[in-house]
Amino acid sequence: ETGVTQTPRHLVMGMTNKKSLKCEQHLGHNAMYWYKQSAKKPLELMFVYNFKEQTENNSVPSRFSPECPNSSHLFLHLHTLQPEDSALYLCASSQDLSFQETQYFGPGTRLLVL
């Protein structure tokens, strides 16, 4: 596998479910990001990790919980989501935060909350 991979690609969950999104990067990067992309809205940065440490949380509700066990893996744990949380969730990585502008994105997880 090369680049940035995300699983699952599609997810349907009820508002009472608990699920996790996984991201893995094979680029040797140190910074990883979670973005939310909703229809007709620009990309919204959710979380930033640099060398496994969270450096940014853009006022994301606590029903979204990130985890970064190492520089290659990033998770987004979901619980008690709302229908308005349905969106494409994108993971990205970059060499480090000084190279933040050159981010490499995964294919995304299309999430539908019923």
- Stretches 24-32, 39-47, 63-71, 78-86: which one binds another protein (CB under 8 A)? 39-47
Lay out the site mask for another protein across 82-101 (x = CB under 8 A, - = otherwise): --------xxx----x--xx
DSSP labels for 35-66?
EEE-TTS--EEEEEEETTEEEEE-S--TTEEE
Among 17, 19, 43, 52, which residue sits at the site for another protein (rule: CB under 8 A)?
43
Torsion (CA) 48, 25, 100, 43 in degrees, nearest 10: -60
User: Which DSSP category does 19 fall into?
Assistant: E
How many binding residues for another protein (CB under 8 A)? 21
Least distance (Å) from another protein to the CB of residue 45? Answer: 6
Q: 65: which residues sit within 8 A by CB, 6+ positions away?
A: 76, 77, 78, 79
User: Of 37 and 80, which has the nearer Cβ to another protein?
Assistant: 37
Least distance (Å) from another protein to the CB of residue 106? Answer: 5
